[in-house]
Structure 1
Amino acid sequence: MSLAITTLIMVMLPTTTVLSSYVASQVATTTAATTLSLEREAKALLESGWWSSYSNHTLQRCNWTGISCNDAGSVIGILPSSHVIKVGDKFKNMDFSCFPNLVFLSLSGHELNGATEDFMFNISHLSTITHLDLSFNILHGPLSPRISNLTQLEFLDFSYNQIHGFIPINIGKLKNLVTLLLCHNKLFGSIPSTLGKLINLETLDLSFNLLNGPISSTLGELINLKTLDLFNNFLNGSIPFTLGELTNLETLDLSNNFLSGPIPSPLGELTNLEILDLSNNFLNDSIPSTLFQLSNLVSMDVSNNYLIGPIPSSLGFLHKLEKLLLGFNRINGSIPSKIGDLKTLRVLFLQSNLLEGLVPEEIGDLEALSLLDLSQNELSGPIPPQIGNCFKLEELDLSNNNLEGLIPYQIAELQHLDRVDLRNNNFSGVIPFTFLRFGNYFHASFTCDETNSSVFWEVFGGNKNLTPYFCSPATYSSVRKSYNLQIFLPVSVLVALFLLGCLLFLWRNEVKVNPTSVLQATTNGDLFSIWNYDGRIAYEDIIAATNDFDIRYCIGTGGYGSVYRAQLPSGKVVALKKLHRLEAEEPAFDRSFRNEIKFLTEVRHRNIVKLHGYCLHKRCMFLIYEYMERGSLFFILSDDVQAVELDWTKRVNTIKSTAYALSYLHFECTPIIVHRDISSNNILLNSDLEAFVSDFGTARIIDPDSSNQTRLVGTYGYVAPELAYTMVVTEKCDVYSFGVLALETLVGKHPAEILSLLSAPSSLQTIMLTDVLDPRLSPPTSQLVAQNIVHVATIAFACLQADPKLRPTMKHVSQMFLSCQRSLRSPLRTISLLQLLNCGMHMEGSSQAPQF
């Protein structure tokens, strides 16, 4: 037995030796193969020309900028920085066959300008790649069918290129795809039905293309879909009922197409839906009541269609709704009283329909409401006084209805209201005295018959029974009773008393104002007009409040005068801008001073500083403003303590307020007014840190029939670059200055360094947004705050484009701020300034900022 075992061992020894030798040789071969493979990867990277500066460091390729490796040292990710690496049309130089383990490839914003077919030929064999991002380039030609070879893809982004042609049918082979972004291209043809095979898809964005034909019903098979964006195409036909099967859908945007037919009632089964936009189509029939039971809905926009029927009373279930836009349809019936249940509603647009009946008093329950438009309907009855409970209301349009009765004084007591239109109704009685407090709409001269006033007609015109007089709240109450009893004698008496009051007012002017000053003002043809809500501010009160403009009351010095703080006998605090006597003798300063009066007495907006009065006289020239307790934005940003108090939300609101004011100047003033000196010094903040545009000394009216050439004015660092060589002022000059201001507010200081890099945008690739945000504030932890910051930054870069024609208008900017913002797809820390710049360049025509 022992001999047998010994013999067996002796027989096995050679075999074991051979096996060991074989294994050793295989390991050596594998090691050699691996080493060779890694060397090929390094060689391919160098030969591409993208990493030429690393030629002496091939062994450290995993540490190269934009290169990621696995544990074995093989390249699995290529994300080059355009700050270090310029790709351009050199992508053909890269031999992608050398990267068998490549998983992640992102060349977004690298100015790739070749044909997509050539590029796909190079990468179509990458069987392991899961993430491919070629967005924000200049790729052209059709989307290559070779894309279907990348069967492991989970993320595919070709957005913001110049790709045309059809969407390949075989794209349906990418079964693992989760995100597909083809927006902002020139794709045409129909949406292929094979997209319905992408069962793992969560985001599909085909917006801003030239797609036509019907929406494929197979999209209803994408059961995991959360976002479906098909807006701004040429799609026609009806909306497929199968979309009602997308129960995970959160955003559905089919706006700006040529869709027709009814809104499918199965859409009411999308219980996770937050944003629904079907606006600007040709949809007809009634709105399904099931849509008004989507309890997670935040925004519903079905405006500009041909919808009919009543508004379902079930809308009271929309407890999270912030925007309801049903305007420009043929909706009839009355406004449901359940509207008052929408406690979070901020925007309600029902204009240009066939609505009738009363304005429900339950609208007064909408405490979050900021925009209300019920114009161009057939509404009747009085305006409910409960509307005065909408404390955040900024715009109110009830024009072109059949409303009647007295105008409630509560409307003008709404502190945030800056725009109101009550024209073309059947109102009667007198105008409540409280309207004198309504922004800059009315000043002291508007206390008597104003039938010829353009201001009167802009707000109250077309109400033939409305008396153009103001009366006090107490008088208003008496008039209401008299009106209800149809007793006109007391009204006549009140009017007579009011006229007597006007005479007494004028007599007090004669007595109280310094006779010498008045005489000189009349003799020299100068102007003297000072007022407040109660009637007037006496000249001597101003002199006494400042001790004849003593230096102790001076709080700042402006471009052509000093600013004083004055507390009047009534307790009211005002700011006085006084032109120095020597400067008053200079024609240029005098022109600027009068220019500021001219504009501020004509404009009226809640975010434009209020002018309470002025005195133009050789001995004394000053303006009286609403006092802004917190001073200028520049002052706040320069102070570390106050800068922290101006948190991210307040900064975003400051930027928005400035945008709304500029939009008003550019689009609602006739003729257009260009400010020409938007800077942080000219944005003032009150005690609540609300922003107001000030200093109209350099403002200018734009005449469409003239060249509008001008001398260079404005604050250095904010002036639009084209003014240096064209000297032609346009509203786009203000847009550029606004862009600088917006960035400054986020950064906490003037963004001179960022502005200097705009001429070499690739340098912005490695600069993250979080790197430049004001370090005195903690990074935003709220998703909403983060997306607001990204939203503002994107708009700012859009406003800073060198070509003024490419900058958005301030009206467009305002619309962007009012639009629903979508959640960030990427963490805030991963968003670069180059991405923001590229997104800003593609904003034109869109009501929403691009999504990150």
Structure 2
Amino acid sequence: MTSSSTPLLYLCLLLVPCLLLLEEAHAAHHGGISLRSQHMALLHWKATLANPPLQMSSWEENTSPCNWTGIMCTAVRHGRRMPWVVTNISLPDAGIHGQLGELNFSALPFLAYLDLHNNNLHGKIPANISSLSSLSFLDLRFNHLKGKIPVELGGLQSLTRLGLSFNRLTGHIPASLGNLTILTDLLIHQTMVSGPIPEEIGRLVNLQTLQLSNSTLRGLIPKVIGNLTQLNALALFGNQLSGPIPQELGRLVRLQILQLNSNAFSGPIAISITNLTKMNTLFLYINQITGSIPLELGNPMNLQNLDLSDNQISGSIPLCLGNITKLVLLSLFENQITSSIPQAIGNLNMLNQLVLYSNQITDLSDNQMTGTIPREIGNLMNLEYLGLYQNQISGSIPKTLGKLQSMQELEIYDNNLSGSLPQEFGDLINLVGLGLSNNSLSGHLPANICSGARLQYLFVSNNMFNGPIPSSLKTCTSLVKITLEGNQLTGDISQNFGMYPQLTIMRLTSNRLSGHISPNLGASTQLTVLHLAQNMITGSIPPTLSKLSNLVELRLDFNHLNGEIPPEICTLENLYSLNLSSNLLSGSLPTQIKKLSNLGYLDISGNKLSGLIPAELGACVKLQSLKINGNNFSGSLTGVIGNLAGLQIMLDVSNNNLSGSLPQQLGKLEMLELLNLSHNQFSGSIPSSFASMVSLSTLDMSYNELEGPVPTTRLLQNALASWFLPNKGLCGNISGLPHCYSTPAANHHKRKILGWIFPTVLVVALGIVVAFVVMILLSCNKRKPQEGVTTEARDLFSVWNFDGRLAFEDIIRATEDFNDKYIIGTGGYGKVYKAQLQDGQLVAVKRLHQTEQGLDDERRFRSEMEILSQIRQRSIVKMNGFCSHPVYKFIVYDYIQQGSLHDTLKNEELAKELDWQKRIVVANTVAQAISYLHHDCSPPIIHRDITSNNILLDTSFKAFVSDFGMAKTIKPDSSNWSALAGTYGYVAPELSYTSVVTEKCDVYSFGVVVLELVMGKHPRDLLDGSLTSGEEAMLVKDIIDQRPTAPTTTEENSLALLIRLAFSCLESSPHTRPTMREAYQTLIQRPSSSSCPVHFSALTLQQGFISSKNKNQSMQHVHNMAGGHFPDYDDKKSAYFKHIQNYNPNGHSSDLFGIPMVKLVDRPDSYRANNLFPEYKKGYMFKYGGPSGCVG
């Protein structure tokens, strides 16, 4: 090298670093490629996080980000260089707690992949995320992000996957997302986004997965959805989408999963979707879909899961469904399908679940109404669940079902099945649950029903099974719930049952079981309900029952138990209902009874107990019903009664040897409805505090030694003398009782005083009355009759009729200032007067009592005033006006001449005149009125006191529902809890243990009234659940009222329908009662000319009604709500089982019943990070809306 080249070399060496620095500066200025700037941006974000997770421990100042956990770098060409840049951030499930807004996205221009799902990110999605122009994958699911979806996301046109599910995002789906034309997966599931699905979504022609479910989207599915021809999964379930299912869905030829369930879609199933031959899952359940199942639905040969349940689908099950041989799930329950089960179902060899319950499945061929279970179902060897309950299936259970070795759950209860249970059922070794309740099955239960040692649920109540308890049950330690009640099973209870560590419910009531109660029963420590009533069990009550610490209900009534009540059972602190009645128990009531602090119902009546009533019973302050009648108790009630202020349903101490005076503490029982003190030796007078028992509706003090005047109370104004006679010397203003007279000396003294006091008092009183009338006229005339009802505490007067305003003076004049001689009855809170106005019109005027209980009566007065001002229905008594004033409060009604249904049925001549045709019309009319209150008023109105006393009849026997003092509106935004209201004998049984008021309470009361209408008296003799076999064999025609002329054939058919409807209204579970609209529609439907004739004259109570459906499950609650028998929700178990692996790719399952891979579908599957389409199965959709007020 020459010396002349040396300076040039040095110059080059000096320029290279400068050029590199210039290049890096240029890069930083034009694109932020500098790894250093990315390094700093990521470290800054880490510093803002709360407790950075372990995965970020490698994120340090002195290390390259390319070596950090969750970071991936790529060399990119930039000019003459290929610098390393951050392209991937993947930190799912890392426990990151912070905000995305703290990450400087502009420093990461080459970021292509960002996965932060399942962390604890909060705050909003920052708008500057749009600076990530290279981003192709963005997954932010399962975080706590909120706010709107940024419109700027539409600028990320390289995105192929966008996951925002399971966040708290709100607002609408931005239309700008339509710019993401290469997007393949759009996941906006389980958020709070609302509004319509944007039309722009039709531009995403490369979409393969679209998931917009479980949000609050509204409106129609846009027709442009048909442009998304690459879609293989579409999930829109759990929104508020409506309208028809668009035919354009038929263009999505690659679609495999279509989930439109849990919306408000209407109209028929779109025929076009039957062309989707690749579809394997079609879920349309919980919508308002109508029409029939398309015959073409058999075309998608790859269909595995088909669920059309909970819609309004009618017609038949098409035979073509038998062509879908890959079908695993077929669910059609809760529709209006009226066909038989086609034999072609037997072709579905892969079927795992067949769910058809709550339809009207019958066989209408030949009009025989004899639909049966097809024997071909026995071909479905993979079937694990079969649900056919709550239909009208008849005939016998085919033996072929015993071949289904995979069967785990078989539920066919609430049908009309007869015959015996195939002994082959004992071969179902995988059986977990068997539900056969409420049919007419007979014969023996298979001895080896628990041969597989997996049986957990056995429900066969209310059938006609006889013979021994299956021997395999003794060692069936897997049992959780067993209900065998209402059959004719025999055997020694101590020998046929063993120890069950998981058992929670055992109901064996109403069988023919004998023997002793085994002490080993105490080993079943999980028991909450133990019912052994109405059997032939002997011996004593074993003290080992005290080990059942979880026990809530214990029923041992109507047996032959003897000995004393063991004090040990008083240690059952959770016991709520204890019924030991109608046995041979002796001795005293243990003082340890005070330990039962949660006891609500105690019935020890009909035994041989003796001694004093222990004062410790007063510690059971939660008692609502107490029956100790029919024993040999002695002593007085003093010291016990005062603390039992919670008694509501009844206090019955009759037929004992009690003596002494009645305690003043009786007045503390302000909620008590029934009091029976009869057949004792009580003496002295009736205490004055008796007037405080304002809820009392039934009273019996007969057969005692009481004397003196009967107190004047609201209840006793219309009391019967039989309530008080015989006694030693009771007197009062009650028909049949002697009047109370003073001594002659006292009368002479009074006459002297009155000689000078009376004129003075008369003048003063007249002056006061005149002043009050003038004041009221002035105040009432200031108001216009058109003003509405208000609850403000001010004078209010508004009376009108079709002739115009009725003057206040006219009301006062017509009743002579509410003279007692015009009283025609007593309502819930006031007396009712008959008034003839000056124009000749007759009206009824209910005037509010002016008593110490004014506040409660005032509420009821205002409640009735407000409700009647809102409604207009021809079968509800019309309110013509009202006046609310501190002195005068009354409501004016139409006068209904005949009086109440109750009084009519008590009158021999009127009862004859009320013939069967008129009675059927009365039932229809009352059903229509209650249906109007429940279904045509918004919010719905619950009457809460439907009784024969509150149904009025005019001279043509047209019925009117009256007395709305206890009525309650059910508002969606308020509590439905209420104090117990209603009339004993008509109150629904659920109100004995819950205060939640529903429309089904009125349905129950209606059922009682219907039976009263048919029988001519209150049906208490039918409803006590203790009919003997001889009584069950009674003909129905012999229990109906014999006073009217015998019914015609047409009337017999209507009566059969009426009685069946009554029993369905009296179901113990409110969920299984019909709605009043269903009841009314049932009554007005004319019998089909093709229906099988009803042989009314041959129907027995057992065959026709009671044993087949309601005998012990429902009816025993009506007469004696103190029995403590909760509704049998277990036999009405509506949930069915599903195999999780059909829906959960991870194979995880809920272990709710301890059954591997099985869970209740009423609960959602657990979502997993890689489970794009987890299934939310059936729940309940509560719908509100409609016009304000009522539709007449």
TM-score, length-normalised on structure 2? 0.46
What residue identity is the alignment partner of 1:86? G
Aligned 8 A contact 2:1001 2:1070 in 1: no
Q: In structure 2, what is the equivalent of residue 411 of structure 1?
A: 666
What residue identity is the alignment partner of 1:155? E
What residue identity is the alignment partner of 2:464? L
* Counterpart check, 1:598 vs 2:817: no
Question: Partner of 1:193: helix, strand, or coil?
Answer: coil
Question: Partner of 2:395: helix, strand, or coil?
Answer: strand
What residue identity is the alignment partner of 1:623? R
CA drift of 1:548 comes to: 7.1
How many residue pairs are counted as aligned between the two chains? 660
Aligned 8 A contact 2:605 2:627 in 1: yes
Q: In structure 2, what is the equivalent of residue 110 of structure 1?
A: 359
Aligned 8 A contact 1:400 1:425 in 2: yes
* Counterpart check, 1:846 vs 2:1043: no
Selected match of 1:427 from 661, 669, 682: 682
CA drift of 1:173 comes to: 2.4
1:226-257 per-position Cα deviation (integer Å, ceiling 9, x unaligned): 21111111122322445341221111111122
Aligned 8 A contact 2:510 2:535 in 1: yes
Q: In structure 2, what is the equivalent of residue 623 of structure 1?
A: 847
Aligned 8 A contact 2:927 2:1079 in 1: no
* Counterpart check, 1:142 vs 2:396: yes
CA drift of 1:84 comes to: 1.8
Selected match of 1:699 from 897, 900, 904: 900
1:539 & 1:553 partners in 2: Cα distance? 22
Q: In structure 2, what is the equivalent of residue 247 of structure 1?
A: 501
1:391 & 1:629 partners in 2: Cα distance? 22
1:19-73 per-position Cα deviation (integer Å, ceiling 9, x unaligned): xxxxxxxxxxxxxxxxxxx99x99xxxxxxxx9965543234644645999x995
What residue identity is the alignment partner of 2:595? D
Q: Which moved more, 1:324-333 or 1:508-517?
A: 508-517
1:409-443 per-position Cα deviation (integer Å, ceiling 9, x unaligned): 0112221122212122112222211112333879x
With over 3 angstroms needed to count, the CA separation of the structure-2 counterparts of 1:615 and 1:506, relative to structure 1, is farther
CA drift of 1:200 comes to: 2.0
Within a 5 Å distance, the mapping from 1:490-569 to structure 2 comes to: 543=773, 546=776, 550-551=780-781
What residue identity is the alignment partner of 2:830? L
1:803 & 1:403 partners in 2: Cα distance? 36
Question: Partner of 1:213: helix, strand, or coil?
Answer: strand
Q: In structure 2, what is the equivalent of residue 85 of structure 1?
A: 314
Q: In structure 2, what is the equivalent of residue 655 of structure 1?
A: none
CA drift of 1:206 comes to: 0.5
Question: Partner of 1:376: helix, strand, or coil?
Answer: coil
CA drift of 1:147 comes to: 0.7
Within a 5 Å distance, the mapping from 1:130-529 to structure 2 comes to: 130-394=384-648, 395-439=650-694, 449=709, 455=719, 461-464=725-728
Aligned 8 A contact 2:448 2:470 in 1: no
Give the structure with the higher percent helix. Answer: 1
Selected match of 2:304 from 75, 79, 85: 75
CA drift of 1:402 comes to: 1.0
With over 3 angstroms needed to count, the CA separation of the structure-2 counterparts of 1:406 and 1:162, relative to structure 1, is same
Q: Which has the higher contact order (CA 8 A, sep 6+)?
A: 1
1:545 & 1:409 partners in 2: Cα distance? 41
What residue identity is the alignment partner of 1:105? L
1:638 & 1:615 partners in 2: Cα distance? 19
* Counterpart check, 1:726 vs 2:918: yes
With over 3 angstroms needed to count, the CA separation of the structure-2 counterparts of 1:266 and 1:563, relative to structure 1, is same
What residue identity is the alignment partner of 2:847? L
Q: In structure 2, what is the equivalent of residue 649 of structure 1?
A: none
CA drift of 1:611 comes to: 2.8
CA drift of 1:578 comes to: 12
With over 3 angstroms needed to count, the CA separation of the structure-2 counterparts of 1:564 and 1:140, relative to structure 1, is closer
2:1081 & 2:452 partners in 1: Cα distance? 32
CA drift of 1:276 comes to: 1.5
What residue identity is the alignment partner of 1:599? G
Aligned 8 A contact 2:403 2:424 in 1: no
Aligned 8 A contact 1:578 1:622 in 2: no
1:849 & 1:743 partners in 2: Cα distance? 27
CA drift of 1:335 comes to: 0.9
Within a 5 Å distance, the mapping from 1:729-740 to structure 2 comes to: none
Could you tell me the percent identity over the aligned residues?
22
With over 3 angstroms needed to count, the CA separation of the structure-2 counterparts of 1:843 and 1:507, relative to structure 1, is farther
Unaligned stretches of 5+ in structure 2? Answer: 1-252, 258-266, 286-292, 317-336, 364-368, 698-705, 734-741, 882-892, 943-968, 978-989, 1026-1062, 1083-1104, 1115-1126, 1134-1192
1:498 & 1:272 partners in 2: Cα distance? 70
Aligned 8 A contact 1:169 1:192 in 2: yes
Aligned 8 A contact 2:829 2:861 in 1: no
Question: Partner of 2:490: helix, strand, or coil?
Answer: strand
CA drift of 1:398 comes to: 1.3
1:428 & 1:309 partners in 2: Cα distance? 32
Q: In structure 2, what is the equivalent of residue 764 of structure 1?
A: none
Question: Partner of 1:344: helix, strand, or coil?
Answer: coil
With over 3 angstroms needed to count, the CA separation of the structure-2 counterparts of 1:510 and 1:728, relative to structure 1, is farther
CA drift of 1:122 comes to: 2.8
* Counterpart check, 1:611 vs 2:802: no
What residue identity is the alignment partner of 1:610? Y
What residue identity is the alignment partner of 1:846? Q
1:709 & 1:516 partners in 2: Cα distance? 53
Question: Partner of 2:449: helix, strand, or coil?
Answer: helix
For the pair shown, the structure with the greater C-alpha radius of gyration is 2
With over 3 angstroms needed to count, the CA separation of the structure-2 counterparts of 1:425 and 1:419, relative to structure 1, is same
With over 3 angstroms needed to count, the CA separation of the structure-2 counterparts of 1:317 and 1:58, relative to structure 1, is same
CA drift of 1:447 comes to: 12
* Counterpart check, 1:748 vs 2:939: yes
Unaligned stretches of 5+ in structure 1? Answer: 1-37, 43-50, 471-493, 519-537, 568-572, 601-607, 641-675, 683-693, 712-721, 752-771
With over 3 angstroms needed to count, the CA separation of the structure-2 counterparts of 1:322 and 1:361, relative to structure 1, is same
Aligned 8 A contact 2:442 2:466 in 1: yes
Q: In structure 2, what is the equivalent of residue 30 of structure 1?
A: none
With over 3 angstroms needed to count, the CA separation of the structure-2 counterparts of 1:262 and 1:79, relative to structure 1, is farther
* Counterpart check, 1:58 vs 2:274: yes
Q: In structure 1, what is the equivalent of residue 149 of structure 2?
A: none
What residue identity is the alignment partner of 2:420? F
Question: Partner of 1:599: helix, strand, or coil?
Answer: strand
Q: In structure 1, what is the equivalent of residue 973 of structure 2?
A: 776
CA drift of 1:699 comes to: 3.1
1:557-577 per-position Cα deviation (integer Å, ceiling 9, x unaligned): 99xxx999999xxxxx99999
Aligned 8 A contact 1:440 1:611 in 2: no
Q: In structure 2, what is the equivalent of residue 481 of structure 1?
A: none
What residue identity is the alignment partner of 1:342? L
Aligned 8 A contact 2:589 2:613 in 1: yes
1:490-539 per-position Cα deviation (integer Å, ceiling 9, x unaligned): xxxx9999999999999999568767999xxxxxxxxxxxxxxxxxxx96
Selected match of 2:376 from 109, 114, 122: 122
CA drift of 1:750 comes to: 5.9
**Cα RMSD for the two superposed structures:** 6.1
Question: Partner of 2:682: helix, strand, or coil?
Answer: strand
What residue identity is the alignment partner of 1:202? Q
Aligned 8 A contact 1:614 1:622 in 2: yes
1:685-711 per-position Cα deviation (integer Å, ceiling 9, x unaligned): xxxxxxxxx999663412353455999
With over 3 angstroms needed to count, the CA separation of the structure-2 counterparts of 1:379 and 1:180, relative to structure 1, is same
CA drift of 1:379 comes to: 0.8
CA drift of 1:408 comes to: 0.6
